[in-house]
Amino acid sequence: MLVFIAKRLAYMAATMVAVSILVFLLLEISPGNVATKVLGPYSSEEQRQIWLEKNGYNRPFYIRYGEWLGRFVTGDLGVSTRFKVPVNDILWNRVANTGLLALAVFVVMVPLSLTLGVLAGMKEGSLQDRAITVIGIVFTSVPEFASAVLVATLFVFWLGILPGTSGMSDGFSLAEMILPVMVLVLYDFGYVARMTRASMAEVMTTPYIRTAVLKGLPYRTVIMRHALRNALIAPFTVIMLQLNWLLSGVIVVEFFFSYKGFGALLLEASLNQDIFVIEACAMVAVFVAVASQALSDIGYTYLNPRIRFS
Amino acid sequence: MSDAASGAATPVLEIDNLHVSYFTRAGEIPAVIDFSLKLEQGEAVGLVGESGCGKSTVAMAIMQYMGANGGVVGGSIKFKGRDLGAMSQEELRRLRGSEIAMIYQEPMAALNPSLTLGRQLMEVPLYHEEVSEAEAYERARQMLSDVRLPDPERVMAAYPHQISGGQQQRVVIAMALLSSPSLLLLDEPTTALDVTVEAGIVKLIAEISKKFGTSMLYISHNLGLILETCDRVCVMYSGEVVEESEVKTVFASPRHPYTHGLFGCIPVPTADKNLRPLVAIPGQLPLPHERPQGCNFGPRCQHFRAGRCDDHDIRMSEITHPSPDHRVRCLRWDELAEDEIATEATEHEPLEPGEPVLVIDEMQKYYPVYDRSIKALLSGQAVRYVKANERLNFDARRGETVAIVGESGCGKSTFAKVLMGLETATEGAITFNGQEISQRPIDSRSAEEIGSLQMVFQNPNDTLNPSLTVGRQIARVIRKFGAESNSETIRARVMELLDLVKLPRDFADRRPRQLSGGQKQRVGIARAFAGNPAMVVADEPVSALDVSVQAAVTDLLMDIQRRYRTTLLFISHDLSVVRYLADRVVVMYLGQIMERGPTAAVFSPPYHPYTEALLSAVPIADTSIEKREIVLEGNLPSVLDPPKGCPFATRCPRKVGTICDEERPPEQQAGPDHMIACHISLAELSLVEPVIQMVKDGEPKPVDPQYG
Amino acid sequence: MTEIAQPLPKREPLPLRLLKSLALLRESGVGMIGAGLVLFWVVVAIFAPWIAPFSPTATLQPMMPPLSPAESGGVFLLGTDHIGRDILSRVIYGSRTVLIYAPLATFCAYIVGIVMGLWAGYRGGWLDDVLSFLANIILSFPVLVLYVVIIATIGASGTNVLIAITFASAPGIMRIVRGLTLDIKTRDYVAAAQTRGESTWWILLVEILPNARGPLIVDACLRLGYVTITIGVLGFLGLGLPPPTPDWGGMVNETRRMATIFPWMSVFPCVAISSLVLGLNLMADGLREISLRD
C-alpha cells in the first residue's frame, strides 16, 4: 500500500512538471509578447528590447524555463503587471476565500447527492428513481451563469431577500455566501447523485446481494451492510474529483457575484494579460486538481479490498 | 430440522402444478409450465435440462425471489406442508438461509467482495438464531473445517478474491449449511470450476448431505453428474418436465423421445465417431413466446403424429412397468417401440491418416514478467519468466484429429496463439506443410499460408462481429485469402459455405444477434473453412453450447473433416468429447506434456497419474459404467515458479518421493506412439486397474464401442 | 438443408435506415422530449431569417420591457437590451451560432479523440503510455482554467474557440475510446481478424469502432451538451466569440450588471441555452435507456 502511495505521489510530481512546461510554453513562448504585456501596448519597440535584455529573455528557452521553475518552487511568483505588487500578496488571500466557498459547497452537496443517489438506485426504475434522475438532469442542464441569473432574478429581484453581490465589503456575511453556494450546488449535485445512483443500481443487481437476501437477512442489513459498502466506493472518487470541477465553476460564480476569490482573480488576469498572475493561478489550480486526483486514487485503492489486498 | 414426530409423512417440498411467468414489454412469457414434484426428507432430486428449460426459475420460485417482473401464476409450492406463496415477507425471511439454503453457480460473484468471509458466514447464525458473536465465530470456523478447508482461521479473515474458485465454493457451501437447512437448492454448483476441482466438491456435497440428512434439489445440465449424485431425476424441456423417475430407470430406459434423444447426444465411452456416432436432435429449441400447440417437443420429434400430439396440452402419464414411480409427458409412450424411425446415423469408414502436416519440435514459449519493485531491481532479478509452454513435442497427420487436453493454466491457449502466428515461439521449431513457422508472426505469412491454417473459437457469442451481416463477414474472409476476387464468385462461394455448415442461404443477410449460439458457431466454422485449410485449430468449439447443440456441431466438424481430409487440432478440457472424436491425444499440465498417444491407449492403462485423475473426475452418463474415484488434493503451482521436477508432483496421488520434486520425469515409451512422462516405471503403471470399466453380466470388461 | 438459391432482398437506402434508427428513440418518453427540444432549436436556427421579427444587430429602442410595442410596428416580444436590440431576434440568431460551433467543435474533438484512443488501446505499450500521460496532463487542468489560459494566449475568436474546445475535450474522449478498445480487443472476432492477417487500420475501423458505437453515441450527446455550455460560458466570461455576433453567453455577459433591475435581458438567453442543453441531456438519457434494454 505504501509503495502505491509513493508511486502515485511520484506520478503527481511528474505531472506537475509537465504541466508547468505547458503553462510556461503557452504564456512565455514569444518574448516579444511578454514584453508587450508587461510594458503595455503603447511601449515602443526599443523599450521592449531593453526590458527583454534586462530580464534575460534573450536566452534559450530551456534556461528561462529552468530559472522560472526554480523561482516558482521557492515561492517567488513574480510581480503582477496590473497591480504592481508581488503576486504572493494577492494570490493566497483569494485562494483562502475560494477554499471557504468550496468547503461550504461540499458540506451541502455531499450528503444531499449521496442520499438522493442511494434512494434512486435502491429501487431502479421506480417513480422515485425516475423523479430523482430527471431532476438531476434538469439541474445539470442549466449552466452556472444561467442559474446565477435565474436565482438572482428570483431571490434578489423578485423576493428581495438576498444581496445581489458577494463582495464582502463589510467583513464576512453569511447571507452573501448563500447565492454563490446555491448556484454551485445546484449544478453539481445532479451529477454526483446520478453517479451514485448508477453505482447503487449496479450493486443491487449483483449476485452477492441476491445471496444476502436469500440468506434471510433483513432488508435494512442488506442495504446498509452489503450494498452501501460497495456502492459508495465509486461516488467517493467522483466526489474527490469534484474539487477539480469546482475550480472551474468558481470562475463563473465569483465573476457573477463579485466574490473576491481565486477564480475571479484568474479571469481578470487573463482579460488583462497579467501574465505572472495567470501562471501562478494556473499552477495552483492544477496542483489542487492533481492532488485531489491522487487522493481519489489512493482512497479508491484503500476502500476496495480487491486492490488493497492483492 | 426435521419433524421427527410425523416421520416420512410430510414431504419436505411439495410442488403442485406450478406455473411461473415473466412479464416483459412483449407480454407474458411462461417460463415454467405444469411443474410438479415431491421431495422427501433426505432425498436428492436432480433437475436436468438445457438452457431455457426453466430449471433455475424453479429454484427461484421456491425461494419466492423471481425479481421485479417474474411471478407464480398458478399452482402451489409447499415447504413442510406450509404454502410458500401465502407467507409474508417476514416469514419467508426466516426460512431463507436457515431452512432453505442455496448454492450458486459462480462462487466468486456470490460472495460480497468487500466483507471478510468470516463476517459473511457469521451472519447466518447471528440472524437466524440467538447466538453471541463468539459462538457464531466458532460455528463458522467449525463448518469451514467440516468442508475440508485448510487453515480455517486464515479463511475467516480473508476476502473472497484471496482464495481460489474451489475454495470459494466450499465457503458458499459452508454458508448454506450453517443453520442445518432441511432443503438445499444447488444451481449448477460446479459448472464454473475445473474438472478435478469439481470432483472434490461433488464428493463433499454427497458426504455432507448424508451426514445432515438434508434434502437436495440439484440443478444441472450435466447428466453424468446427476447420475452420480441424485436418487431421482426430472428432465425438463422448454419449461415442462418431460420425464421423471428414479435415476437408474431414466438412464437405463428413457421413455420420452427428448430424453432418448438427449442420451444419443452425449459422448459416453461406448460412443465412437465412426462405428457409433452421436445422433443430434434435429431442429431448434422453440423461443419462449413461440411454443407450439400441444407437445413442446413435437416439431422435433420423430414420433410426432399430427392431430394427436399438437391438439391440446399434454399431461404426465404414469408408467407402471417395468419400474414404478416413472412418469412421462407423452401421449404415445407405449406405442413408441413399434414406430419405424429413420435409421440411426450411418457408420463411417475411418479416415486413414496421411503424412504429417504439423510437426512440433521442442517448442518453448516463455513470457517475460518484469518485476518493477525496488527490491527486484536491487537484487538483479528484475525479469522472471512464465513458462507457458515447455518442451512440446508432437505431430499431427493429414486427416487426423489430434486433441490437446488440459485444465485452465495448462498452456493450451498459448500454444494455439503461437501456432496461429499471434505470438512467436521462444525456442524450438514448428513445421507446417513443410514450412517452418515458429518465428513467423501473422504479418509475415502469405495469404495462402494464412488461409491454410485457421481457427474456430470458443465463445459463439463473441466469434462474430456484431455490426456486420453474416454474408459480409464470410465474404471478407474469402477475399482476404485470395481464393476469389470477383464479387459474383465470392457470393457463390459464400452460399457454398453456408450449405456446407447446413445453414439456410438467407442467413447471409442476417446479423449475428439474430442467430442462436449453435448457428453462430456454424458460421465460425464456415469462416474457418473458407480458404480450404489444410489444418483447423478448434479451441473449445463446443464447450459453451447446450448438449444437443454440441452433438450437432461436433457432427458437422466430423463431416467436413471427412469430406476434405482436413487435419483437426481440437483443444478441450472435456474428456468425453475428446474420447469421442480424437484419434490421438496430448495431455498437458502446467505447460508440459504429460502423456501423448492414440486415444484408446491414453484412455486405458498404463496411465500417467494426471490422466488417471482426469478420467476419474469426469462424470459419465452411462449406468453400465463403473468408475474408480480419485480426488486430487492441493493446488495448482504458480506458473511463475514451476517446480523443478515434475509439475504434477504437488498433487500427485502416486508420488514416489523427492525425485518427483527434483528431477524432470523421463519420457517413457509405452507403445509405438504412446509416451508417458513419469518417474514410475511402465511395468508398475501397466498394473494399475482401469479407471473406467463396463459392468456387463456382473463382470467388469474394458470399454469398447462394439459392446455398446 | 435448403439449397434453393433465393434472390436476396436489396439493402435499404441509407437515409431510410437512419430514420428508422431515430425512430427507436420513440421507445423512451424522456428521449422523445429531449429530441423534441433539440429539433425545436434546429428548426429555429434554420429558419431564423424568416422567424425573427427584427434584425439582431439593429439598435432600436433601448430597455423596453417585454411585450412593448415597437415604433416601427410589431412588438418587442421579449423586450430590448441596453443598447436597443430586440432580445427575441438575438435569441433566435444566437441559436445559429451555437448550433454551428457546438457540433463542429464536438466533431473535431471526436476525430482526434477516437484516433488517439483506438491506437492507444489497441497497441498498448509505449504509445499508450505516452498518449495517456499527455491526456492526463490536459485532463489535470480544471476545464475552465485550461480554456482561460489557452484563450489568454491565442486570443478570442471563433476559430480559437474551436481549437480550444478540441484541445480540451479530445483527451476525455480518448480515455473513453481507449477503455472501450481495451474491452473489445479481447473478443474472439478481433482474434479471428488478427489470425486472418487483417491490417491494424482495418481492425480498428471495422472490427472495433462500430462495436463501440453504443456508449460513444450516448457520450456524444452528452458532450454536445457540455460543449454548448462551454461556448455559453466562454461567451459569458468575455472569452468567446467577439461581439456583435449574437451569442447567448455573450448576451448574458453584456447585460448582467443590470440583471437586478432589468432581469429580462439576461433571463431569456439563459432559458434558451438551458433548454437546448436539457434537450441534449434528455436525448442522451433516452439513448442510454434504450441501449441498456437491448
Per-residue confidence (pLDDT) for residue B113, from 0 to 100: 92
- Read off the pLDDT band of B3 (50, 70, 90): very low
Per-residue confidence (pLDDT) for residue B705, from 0 to 100: 54
Q: Are the Cβ atoms of B97 and A214 closer than 8 angstroms?
A: yes
- Read off the pLDDT band of B5 (50, 70, 90): very low
Query: In whole angstroms, how far apart are CA C28 and each of A141, C216, C279, C285?
Result: 19, 19, 13, 9
Q: Write the DSSP symbol of residue C204.
A: I
Q: Rounded to 5 degrees, what are φ and ψ at C260?
A: -85, -10
B509 touches chain C (CB under 8 A): yes
Q: Which residue has the higher pLDDT, C111 or A22?
A: C111
- To the nearest whole Å, the CA of B286 is away from the closest chain A CA by 28
Per-residue confidence (pLDDT) for residue A126, from 0 to 100: 85
Query: At B155, which helix (H) or strand (E)?
Result: helix B152-157
Q: Say what percent of chain B tops pLDDT 90.
A: 30
Per-residue confidence (pLDDT) for residue B201, from 0 to 100: 87
Per-residue confidence (pLDDT) for residue C294, from 0 to 100: 53
Residue B2 confidence (pLDDT) above 50: no
* pLDDT tens per residue, range C164-208: 899 999 999 999 999 999 989 989 999 999 988 899 999 999 999
Question: Could you give the CA distance from residue C195 to residue C64 in angstroms, rounded to a whole number?
Answer: 72
Contact B46, B241 (CB under 8 A): no
**Beta bridge partner(s), residue B692:** B627
Residue C230 confidence (pLDDT) above 60: yes
Q: Are the Cβ atoms of C145 and A23 closer than 8 angstroms?
A: no
* pLDDT tens per residue, range B171-194: 999 999 898 899 999 999 988 888
Q: Kindly write down the DSSP assignment for every residue of B438-462, as one continuous string.
A: TT--GGGS-HHHHHHEEEE-S-TTT
Q: Where are the beta strands (DSSP E) in B374-446?
A: 383-397, 401-405, 427-432, 435-436
Contact A249, A187 (CB under 8 A): yes
Question: Could you give the CA distance from residue B49 to residue A299 in angstroms, rounded to a whole number?
Answer: 47
Question: Could you give the CA distance from residue B46 to residue B51 in angstroms, rounded to a whole number?
Answer: 15
Most confident of B550-554, C78-82, C277-281: C277-281
Per-residue confidence (pLDDT) for residue A111, from 0 to 100: 94
Question: Could you give the CA distance from residue A91 to residue A285 in angstroms, rounded to a whole number?
Answer: 12
Question: Could you give the CA distance from residue C147 to residue C80 in angstroms, rounded to a whole number?
Answer: 31
Question: Could you give the CA distance from residue B235 to residue B266 in angstroms, rounded to a whole number?
Answer: 15
- To the nearest whole Å, the CA of B113 is away from the closest chain A CA by 7
Per-residue confidence (pLDDT) for residue B227, from 0 to 100: 87
Q: Which of B538, B448, B422, B569 is nearest to C195 (CA)?
A: B422
| Residue A300, C-alpha cell as written in the block | 479508491
Q: Where are the beta strands (DSSP E) in A17-170?
A: none
Residue written as grid cell 445432515: B212
Question: Could you give the CA distance from residue C59 to residue B398 in angstroms, rounded to a whole number?
Answer: 89
Residue B536 confidence (pLDDT) above 90: yes
Residue B481 confidence (pLDDT) above 80: yes
Per-residue confidence (pLDDT) for residue A211, from 0 to 100: 93
Question: Could you give the CA distance from residue B220 to residue C154 in angstroms, rounded to a whole number?
Answer: 68
Per-residue confidence (pLDDT) for residue B495, from 0 to 100: 92
Q: Write the DSSP symbol of residue A39.
A: H
Please give the residue of chain C at the shortest CA–CA distance from B500: C1
Q: Are the Cβ atoms of A216 and B104 closer than 8 angstroms?
A: no
Q: Which of B502, B458, B454 is nearest to B478 (CA)?
A: B454
Query: Among partner residues C5, C9, C192, which is closest to B505 by beta-carbon distance?
Result: C5
Per-residue confidence (pLDDT) for residue B372, from 0 to 100: 64
B543 touches chain C (CB under 8 A): no
CA Rg, chain A, in Å?
A: 24
Per-residue confidence (pLDDT) for residue C264, from 0 to 100: 82
Per-residue confidence (pLDDT) for residue A120, from 0 to 100: 92
Per-residue confidence (pLDDT) for residue B487, from 0 to 100: 85
Query: Among partner residues A207, A218, A305, which is closest to B109 by beta-carbon distance?
Result: A207
Question: Could you give the CA distance from residue A122 to residue A125 in angstroms, rounded to a whole number?
Answer: 9
Residue type (1 letter), A165:
T
Which residue pairs, CB below 8 angstroms and at least 24 apart, start in C232-237?
C232/A143, C232/A145, C232/A146, C232/C98, C232/C273, C233/A143, C233/A144, C233/A145, C233/A252, C233/C144, C234/C147, C234/C151, C234/C156, C234/C161, C234/C164, C236/A143, C236/A145, C236/A252, C237/A251, C237/A252, C237/A255, C237/A267, C237/C148
Query: What is the separation of C-alpha B576 from the centre of its chain, rounded to a whole number of angstroms?
Result: 10
Query: Among partner residues A125, A214, A229, which is closest to B63 by beta-carbon distance?
Result: A214
| Residue B64, C-alpha cell as written in the block | 419466492
Query: In whole angstroms, how far apart are CA A178 and each of A135, B4, C145?
Result: 21, 71, 24
Question: Could you give the CA distance from residue A56 to residue A85 in angstroms, rounded to a whole number?
Answer: 21
Q: Which of B30, B32, B10, B9 is nearest to B219 (CA)?
A: B32
- Read off the pLDDT band of B662 (50, 70, 90): confident
Residue A43, number of CB atoms within 10 A of its CB: 14
Q: Kindly write down the DSSP assignment for every residue of A202-232, as one continuous string.
A: HHHTSHHHHHHHHTT--HHHIIIIIIHHHHT
Contact B232, B245 (CB under 8 A): yes
- To the nearest whole Å, the CA of C119 is away from the closest chain A CA by 22
Q: Are the Cβ atoms of A305 and B114 closer than 8 angstroms?
A: yes
Determine the number of helices (DSSP H) and then strands (DSSP E) in chain A: 15, 0
Residue B704, number of CB atoms within 10 A of its CB: 13
**Beta bridge partner(s), residue B669:** B675
Residue B121 confidence (pLDDT) above 90: yes
Residue B8 confidence (pLDDT) above 70: no
The β-bridge relationship of strands B44-48 and B232-237 is: parallel
Residue written as grid cell 512440446: B392
Contact C48, C56 (CB under 8 A): no
Please give the residue of chain B at the shortest CA–CA distance from C293: B25
Query: In whole angstroms, how far apart are CA B75 and each of B30, B92, B219, B283, B521?
Result: 13, 18, 21, 31, 39
The β-bridge relationship of strands B27-39 and B13-24 is: antiparallel
Question: Could you give the CA distance from residue B552 to residue B558 in angstroms, rounded to a whole number?
Answer: 10
- Residues of chain A with C-beta less than 8 angstroms from the C-beta of B128: 216
Q: Are the Cβ atoms of B467 and C210 closer than 8 angstroms?
A: yes
B467 touches chain C (CB under 8 A): yes
Q: Which of A117, A190, A112, A104 is nearest to A147 (CA)?
A: A190
Question: Could you give the CA distance from residue A146 to residue A23 in angstroms, rounded to a whole number?
Answer: 30
Question: Could you give the CA distance from residue C274 to residue C249 in angstroms, rounded to a whole number?
Answer: 11
Q: Are the Cβ atoms of C152 and A270 closer than 8 angstroms?
A: yes
Q: Kindly write down the DSSP assignment for every residue of B673-694, as one continuous string.
A: TEEEE-SS-HHHHHTSPPSEEE
ipTM above 0.85, yes or no: no
Contact B498, B439 (CB under 8 A): no
* pLDDT tens per residue, range B308-364: 888 888 888 888 777 778 888 888 888 877 776 665 567 777 778 888 889 998 888
Q: Kindly write down the DSSP assignment for every residue of A133-172, as one continuous string.
A: HHHHHHHHTS-HHHHHHHHIIIIIIIS--S-S----TTS-
The β-bridge relationship of strands B317-319 and B356-370 is: unpaired
Q: Are the Cβ atoms of C189 and B467 closer than 8 angstroms?
A: no
Contacts of B305 (CB under 8 A, 6+ apart): B332
* pLDDT tens per residue, range B563-611: 899 999 999 888 888 988 899 999 999 889 999 999 989 988 888 999 9
CA atoms within 13 A on the CB side of A230: 25
- Residues of chain A with C-beta less than 8 angstroms from the C-beta of C256: 149, 256
**Which sign does the torsion angle of CA B260, B264, B266, B269 carry?**
positive
Per-residue confidence (pLDDT) for residue B625, from 0 to 100: 83
List, for chain A, all residue ranges whose pLDDT scores fall below the cut of 50.
none
- To the nearest whole Å, the CA of B442 is away from the closest chain C CA by 6
Query: At B171, which helix (H) or strand (E)?
Result: helix B165-177
Please give the residue of chain A at the shortest CA–CA distance from C282: A137
Q: What is the mean pLDDT of residues B388-398?
A: 88
Residue written as grid cell 439598435: C59
Question: Could you give the CA distance from residue A18 to residue A286 in angstroms, rounded to a whole number?
Answer: 11
Q: What is the mean pLDDT of chain B?
A: 86
Per-residue confidence (pLDDT) for residue B268, from 0 to 100: 83
Q: Are the Cβ atoms of C197 and B450 closer than 8 angstroms?
A: yes
Per-residue confidence (pLDDT) for residue C24, from 0 to 100: 65
Chain A residues with CB-CB distance to B under 8 A?
A: 3, 125, 206-208, 210-218, 221, 225-226, 229-230, 233, 304-306, 309-310
Residue B160 confidence (pLDDT) above 70: yes
A292 touches chain C (CB under 8 A): no
Question: Angle at the Cα of B156 (from B155 to B160), degrees rounded to 5?
Answer: 60
Query: In whole angstroms, how far apart are CA B344 and each of B281, B616, C26, C140?
Result: 11, 30, 52, 70
Per-residue confidence (pLDDT) for residue C15, from 0 to 100: 59
Contact B469, B509 (CB under 8 A): yes
Which other chains touch chain B, taking contact as 3+ CB pairs less than 8 Å apart?
A, C
CA Rg, chain C, in Å?
A: 23
Q: Are the Cβ atoms of A218 and B127 closer than 8 angstroms?
A: yes
Per-residue confidence (pLDDT) for residue C9, from 0 to 100: 39
B556 touches chain C (CB under 8 A): no
Question: Could you give the CA distance from residue B638 to residue C211 in angstroms, rounded to a whole number?
Answer: 36
Question: Could you give the CA distance from residue A31 to residue A12 in angstroms, rounded to a whole number?
Answer: 30
Per-residue confidence (pLDDT) for residue A31, from 0 to 100: 61
